[in-house]
């Protein structure tokens, strides 16, 4: 099976696009409902870590059945993100690299090294 | 600037990984807090479509300033998803393709063509 | 059974407090995990309206089985909110009335009558 | 100012109902958009605890400025829940007490005392 190494972001977008097209679901894929879908799937992913201490959540790697579910829920979020990119014709690579560039300015490595980006998160 | 066409999913993961590593933020990147981050950013994306009718939300493409914000918020969600994949060493391509395969079985194209996948969403 | 008319907010908080105390669950009820619980239950409520047009979502009142589920999911969100108020000893009535007072200043009725509070939502 | 002790749930619902009515905002308050509002405000509440360890989040009580923000964000979630109850004419007291009754059956106190209700959360 294909892996992240040899798969372009476009290839992954196309796999999702094809799945949606085969079902004629583009009509439902307006940005509002897709954003809702992302939210709902994100909450399902979060639920897998409910009542777990933050540090202990790393142990999910040693629990194969839970790890599998995490992978599936993460995939659900990513699939909706790819659908949003398809519906709006947003280039994800460009969007991500531009945002990282912005974040590099906001959080200079020498000032923020080892410091939680709490201030950022609350903005 | 690089685009989805010539960028592998691994390249994009590496760009995020490098940003985090330069700031020594891996210590904060446990799965629970990353899942929280995805949720929070997903809600910020959703907020851009609050009180908008679903169909009207497609018009965001004709509003350059709002469209830019949508791209930025979507990038924030994707960046956290890539961080989660990095923290847990999940191959996103495999996870997405496996999930699509599962969904193809659950929603055979001939049965679900043009039908909202409502039942699925409520499961 | 008791109703909103003759039940004080404190009575409702006490009903939740008692349920938690009987199970010795106060130890899990830190603000972070309670906020997560609110998020997760809110997303489950939202999921009931996924792919539905905003206006059509009002029709849920004529669908007894779905209406029941909406009531249950809304109750889940409210129960976590009451637990958060209990855990932090926040007076909800005061918090709500203060916030409404603030909102009355931000959205003077004569300026915002019949206008979606879009600007507010995006702040 | 009024407090939880002497305020009925109906009184609190009426305060929100009046605020909405003065602005003629009932037209926007369909269940789907209200559920979205709850989600968005819940995520803003959660954001206040991002990167904080669960146990440390209890310390918010000793940080007056942050504690104030938590109260405001919690109020926002509750206000939307009261609006949802108003829009759908759901009696919150009945909904909460019925849900607690159900939860008492699902989590008998003698079996779940001191045990995280993890299993429940993942259902």
A47 contact residues in D (CB cutoff 8 A): 121-122
* Across A89-102, average pLDDT: 98
Alpha carbon of C20: minimum distance to chain A alpha carbons (Å)? 14
* pTM of this prediction exceeds 0.90: yes
Between these two residues, B119 and A91, which has the higher pLDDT value? A91
Chain centroid offset of residue A88 CA: 16
Confidence at residue B3, expressed as pLDDT on a 0 to 100 scale: 98
Cα A112 from Cα B25, distance rounded (Å): 9
Alpha carbon of D103: minimum distance to chain C alpha carbons (Å)? 9
Low-confidence ranges of chain C (pLDDT < 50): 120-123
> What pLDDT digit, counting tens, does each position of A29-84 carry?
999 999 999 999 999 999 999 999 999 999 999 999 999 999 999 999 999 999 99
* DSSP code per residue over A30-98: -HHHHHHHHHHHHHHHHHTTTTS-TGGGGGGGG-HHHHHHHHHHHHHHHHHHHHHHHHHT--HHHHHHH
What does the DSSP 8-state code read for residue B8? Answer: B
ipTM computed for the complex: 0.94
Q: Select the residue of C23, C45, C89 nearest D107 (Cβ to Cβ).
A: C23
Confidence at residue B120, expressed as pLDDT on a 0 to 100 scale: 47
Does the beta-carbon distance from C31 to D84 stay under 8 Å? no
User: Residue D5: what are its φ and ψ, rounded to 5°?
Assistant: -65, -45
A55 contact residues in D (CB cutoff 8 A): 53
C21: helix, strand or coil = helix
Confidence at residue D29, expressed as pLDDT on a 0 to 100 scale: 97
Confidence at residue B115, expressed as pLDDT on a 0 to 100 scale: 86
Consecutive 10-residue averages of pLDDT for chain B (123 residues)? 96 98 96 98 98 96 97 98 98 98 96 75 41
């Amino acid at each position: 099976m294909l892996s992240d190494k040899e798969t372009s972001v476009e290839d992954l977008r196309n796999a999702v696009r094809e799945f949606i097209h085969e079902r004629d679901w583009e009509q439902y894929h307006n940005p509002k409902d897709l954003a809702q879908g992302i939210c709902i799937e994100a909450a399902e992913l979060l639920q897998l870590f409910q009542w777990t201490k933050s540090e202990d959540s790393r142990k999910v790697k040693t629990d194969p059945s839970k790890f599998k579910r995490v992978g599936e829920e993460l995939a659900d979020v990513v699939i909706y993100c790819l659908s949003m990119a398809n519906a709006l014709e947003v280039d994800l690579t460009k969007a991500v690299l531009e945002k990282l560039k912005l974040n590099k300015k906001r959080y200079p490595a020498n000032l923020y090294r080892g410091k939680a980006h709490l201030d950022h998160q609350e903005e």
